[in-house]
Every structure is written in structure tokens, then in C-alpha cells.
Amino acid sequence: MAAWSERLAGVRGVLLDISGVLYDGGADGGTPIAGSVEAVARLKRSGLKVRFCTNESQKSRRDLVQLLRRLGFDISEGEVTAPAPATCLVLRERGLRPHLLVHDGIRSEFDQIDKSNPNCVVIADAGEGFSYQNMNRAFQLLMQLDNPVLISLGKGRYYKETSGLMLDVGAYTKALEYACGIEAQVVGKPSPEFFKSALQDIGVAAHQVRVPGGAALSAGVGGGVEGPGRGSLGLELGLRGRPDCWV
């Protein structure tokens, strides 16, 4: 395996996924994946700019960071790109007032957003909140709108917790898309705009970034082209996930 310096040749920053790459969530808060705490520390010591990109939509960014710190990670709230704050920017820019079909854990992220007389639906990983009643209410509201807008915080199929695989928001988003005959706007992975916003935050060009775990492969960011030494950086760091790639 090539030397560490060779792995980082031309690289100025790293985008890291969180769930399933750094830790597996669970009812007890979750457990760090073996080697991930040390991997993050090693990246930061290297002088690279590190940005954490997550579709987490059951915890606020603050709560997520507090959890990761308890698990031993060196991470700050300002280093995390998450879909809820990004969605708030979209809502403000477009003058949208959301009906929220989200987990109680992230409702606080929308405290400063006007939610009166909704003209769109925001859907996230609501967990037990995905009841027939709640889904049907979102469906009814969308069908009443002349120009229905559905915003989905990510569009994952499932994710892993310590208790097993968990159904993600994508399945419920697809149900509303099908029933209403519309296409949701995705804020979060795999949206290329989500990754581009993370790059802007760290001031690094796409060709200068590495993505251990392959979080951008399905996003098609910069074409999603795999870089030389496929998988090598992630393996050397001890990070779990699909092969690393250039974005």
C-alpha cells in the first residue's frame, strides 16, 4: 500500500459521512465503528480540511454533535453539513411555509420558520411519526395546492442501527410522489447541491477533495468518478463504507 503522503497528494479536504461510517446509531445512542475515532483524529492532524456530511434527520445538528463528542469524536457543530439547516435556507429563499412531517428531534431546527397556512410539505425520517394519519394529512395538503411542493431531507432507502436495518425516509417520499404525481426536491444526500455546499463551506474545489466511504458515488457530484487507489484511503483510515472517490 502506498505511503500516507502519496494518498494525500493534491488533496486539500475530506468529506466524511457519519451514520454507518463513523458510528452505528441505536436506542442507547449508538456505538462508534472500530477505528473511526482515531481516523478522524488522524485526518485533522494531517492539516486537511474536514467536513462531515449527514442525512441525519432525527437529531438536531447540536444533539448529533453532542452525541458524537460523547463517543469520543473531535467534532464541532460548525463542521457538520446537515439537511435541516439547509432546508431552512431553501424555505426562506422561496417564501415557503412548511407542513412538517418530521421527527420531534429536529422540530427545533424550524422554530424560526413561518409554518402558518402551509404551502409545501417537508418530510424527513419521522420514525414512529410515519402513521397513516400523518402521511394522509401530508397527501391531502399537497393535493390541495395548485403547485404542490414536497421537500425531502435525503432520500435514503434504509440505514443501519445496532438493532438492525431501519426503513428510511425515501420509501415514504416515494409514496407521496406516486400518490400526488409529483417529484420531491431532495435536500441532503444524494443531491449534488448538498455536497457542493459542503465544499463551499471549507473553501476547497471538488477535484481537491477525497470522500472515504464513497458518500458521493450515488450523488454524481462531478460525475462521481472514482479516483486512483480505489478504496485505499478509506481502508488505511479504518473507515467502513463503499470505495472512496474523487468528486
Alpha carbons within 13 angstroms on the beta-carbon side of residue 58 total 18
pLDDT at 148: 97
- Give the DSSP per-residue string, 48-78: -EEEEE----SS-HHHHHHHHHHTT----GG
Q: pLDDT 10s digit of each residue in the chain, 247 long?
A: 455 566 667 889 999 999 888 998 887 788 999 999 999 999 999 889 999 999 999 999 999 999 999 999 999 999 999 999 999 999 999 999 999 999 999 999 999 999 999 999 999 999 999 999 999 999 999 999 999 999 999 999 998 888 899 999 999 999 999 999 999 999 998 888 888 889 999 999 988 988 875 444 444 333 232 333 233 344 344 455 443 333 3
Enumerate the domain spans of the chain.
12-82+190-237, 95-187
33's grid cell? 465503528
Residue 5's pLDDT is: 61
- Say what the pLDDT of residue 183 is: 98
Q: Where does 12-82+190-237 sit in CATH, by number?
A: 3.40.50.1000
* Domains 12-82+190-237 and 95-187 in one fold: yes
What is the distance between the alpha carbons of residues 84 and 86, in angstroms, rounded to a whole number?
A: 5
Q: Return the CATH fold of 95-187.
A: Rossmann fold (3.40.50)
On whether the CB atoms of residues 220 and 244 are closer than 8 A, the answer is no
Give the separation between CA 206 and CA 200, rounded to whole angstroms. 9
- Sheet of strand 49-53: strand arrangement: 80-81, 49-53, 13-16, 209-210
Q: CB–CB of 172/123 below 8 Å?
A: yes
pTM over the 0.75 mark: yes
